[in-house]
Amino acid sequence: MPRVYNWQIGREMSYPHEERHSQYQFAFVFNPNRCLGCQTCTMACKSTWTFSKGQELMWWNNVESKPYGGYPQHWDAKLLKLLEEANPGKQNWNARKKDPQSMPYGSFDGMTIFEAAEQHPRPEGQQGALGYLPTDDEWRAPNIHEDTATGSHFTKESQYGGSVELPEHKVWFFHLARICNHCTYPGCLGSCPRNAIYKRPEDGVVLVDQSRCRGYRKCVEGCPYKKAMYRPTTRTTEKCIGCFPRLEGKDKEISPTGAPAETRCMSACVGKIRLQGLVEVEEQGGWANDPTNPIYFLVRERQVALPLYPQFGTEPNGYYIPPRWVPRGYLNQMFGPGVDGAIEQYSCPDRELLAVLQLFRANQQIVFRFEIEQGEKVGECEVTMPNGESRTQELFNDTVIGFNKLNEEVARVSIEEPTFERPAGSHVNSI
């Protein structure tokens, strides 16, 4: 297999195709600390793209309650087990070897899904990626174990005490919202024997060419996140298309000047946990240095948002601010070795980070650049840090301003939310 560079695992790796990159890359940051599991995003996607015959069990966007929930069921636990069997005891990170540009989280010394497939060819021939095909049963319940917390090992007589105290809750769950990660090295694309899957050169969105697809389901098997889905009525695969007409600024209601807009699931998010962007990609594949792009700022500059299972090797473009009450071992397995640093920053954000966090759901158009206008100090509060120490957080009424691709102002949010008091007697339901 050709060799490509994957900055998330800090090293070169094998991939079935030669290195080639898009001009921009579709990317997003989700903040599970704020997700309320309302499924508004799920229904926004369903009612836009997957409401037809044959798509009944297809949820391009889903929100699962971790650790027990999953769509399809056990998707991540099953793949982690397969990788462990392929490379027993060696699926480890070396977090000491770091470089801010080429290996920001250190280096993953284990096997990716592509390397495991290369080293363990199957009797029917070498596959593009290690994977498995979920059973029909595993797809049928997108919301299984919703809101189910851990804690079965506690008895009435034993300790529930301290079960929900930071830095780690003893009884815990969290909502993990998921869409296709429009990976830089997609497992679906690498597994397709028909070359029916491609990345758009303009924005890196991963699409299935329906005229080439023959429904072999190799992509369903090879996508580690299980976001390529088979449609029995057409006998082809379908998947998230990144709402590309919105990315192209085709919706004049949202983008009167034709600037790129966020997807339906992002725009609908009630909890304001989602921020989507397009980051500029250099010729060699790295992200162009652009610290005023909010996605670049959160992912590369601050590393407060981390990739989902980077060790799978697809370089996913979905990033998550780790939920701060969850046991660290679980989070380290899911988001890699950057978890402690991310939680530390999120627990007590400085002025700049706090301002950028206000851009989540500030507008439906994609923010390409932000500026911050500094305001006066409006308060301070005591924060308990993950190591138990107390820190004083100063709060300033700064204003963050977001600009779209055409450099037009599309968002302006202040830290202190303006409040209005209605005069008594001026509304009909006054008592």
**Which residues on neighbouring strands pair with residue 274, listed in sequence order?**
30
Which residues does 393 contact at the CB level (< 8 Å), separation at least 6? 348, 349, 380, 381, 382, 383
Give least dist CB 270 to ligand SF4, A: 5
CB under 6 A: which stretch of 50-58, 118-126, 270-278, 326-334 binds ligand SF4? Answer: 270-278
Q: Are 261 and 364 spatial neighbours (Cβ–Cβ below 8 Å)?
A: yes
Give least dist CB 385 to ligand SF4, A: 26
Q: Of 11 and 178, which CB lies nearer to ligand SF4 in the complex structure?
A: 178
Distance CA 112, CA 142 (A): 27
> Taking CB under 6 A as the rule, does residue 192 contact ligand SF4?
no
Residue 352: C-alpha distances to residues 119, 180, 347, 361, 414 (Å): 46, 29, 14, 17, 12
> Taking CB under 6 A as the rule, does residue 181 contact ligand SF4?
yes
Among 77, 133, 270, 378, binds ligand SF4 (CB under 6 A): 270
Contact letters for ligand SF4, residues 35-54 (x by CB under 6 A): xxxxxxx-------------
Q: Which of 206, 187, 414 is nearest to 313 (CA)?
A: 187
CA distance from start to end of the chain: 74
Give the count of beta carbons closer than 10 Å to the beta carbon of residue 426. Answer: 7
Q: Which residue has the tokens 């820190």?
A: 391
Give least dist CB 85 to ligand SF4, A: 21
Q: Of 40 and 384, which CB lies nearer to ligand SF4 in the complex structure?
A: 40
Give least dist CB 30 to ligand SF4, A: 7
Among 273, 299, 306, 334, binds ligand SF4 (CB under 6 A): 273
CB under 6 A: which stretch of 50-58, 96-104, 161-169, 180-188 binds ligand SF4? Answer: 180-188
Q: Of 39 and 87, which CB lies nearer to ligand SF4 in the complex structure?
A: 39
Residue 77: C-alpha distances to residues 68, 187, 225 (Å): 10, 17, 11
Give least dist CB 31 to ligand SF4, A: 9
324, amino acid identity: R
Give least dist CB 211 to ligand SF4, A: 19
φ, ψ dihedrals at 274, nearest 5°? -115, 135
Q: Of 37 and 310, which CB lies nearer to ligand SF4 in the complex structure?
A: 37
Q: Are 237 and 227 spatial neighbours (Cβ–Cβ below 8 Å)?
A: no
Distance CA 201, CA 199 (A): 6
> Taking CB under 6 A as the rule, does residue 298 contact ligand SF4?
no
Give SS3 for 382: strand
Contact letters for ligand SF4, residues 238-267 (x by CB under 6 A): -x----------------------------
Q: Of 38 and 141, which CB lies nearer to ligand SF4 in the complex structure?
A: 38
Among 142, 187, 307, 337, binds ligand SF4 (CB under 6 A): 187
Cβ-closest position to ligand SF4: 271
Q: Are 116 and 82 spatial neighbours (Cβ–Cβ below 8 Å)?
A: yes
Q: Are 222 and 113 spatial neighbours (Cβ–Cβ below 8 Å)?
A: yes
> Taking CB under 6 A as the rule, does residue 133 contact ligand SF4?
no
> Taking CB under 6 A as the rule, does residue 188 contact ligand SF4?
yes
Among 271, 285, 294, 313, binds ligand SF4 (CB under 6 A): 271
Q: Of 139 and 225, which CB lies nearer to ligand SF4 in the complex structure?
A: 225
Per the structure block, which two tokens stand in for 85?
């069997």
Number of alpha carbons in the 13 Å side-chain half-sphere of residue 405: 19
207, containing H or E segment? strand 206-208
Contact letters for ligand SF4, residues 197-236 (x by CB under 6 A): ---------x----------------x-x-xx--------
Give SS3 for 266: helix
CB under 6 A: which stretch of 148-156, 174-182, 395-403, 419-427 binds ligand SF4? Answer: 174-182
> Taking CB under 6 A as the rule, does residue 72 contact ligand SF4?
no
Q: Of 259 and 367, which CB lies nearer to ligand SF4 in the complex structure?
A: 367
Q: Where are the beta strands (DSSP E) in 308-386?
A: 318-320, 369-373, 377-384
13, containing H or E segment? strand 11-14
Residues that bind ligand SF4 (CB under 6 A): 35-41, 63, 175, 177, 180-183, 186-188, 206, 223, 225, 227-228, 239, 268-271, 273-274, 314
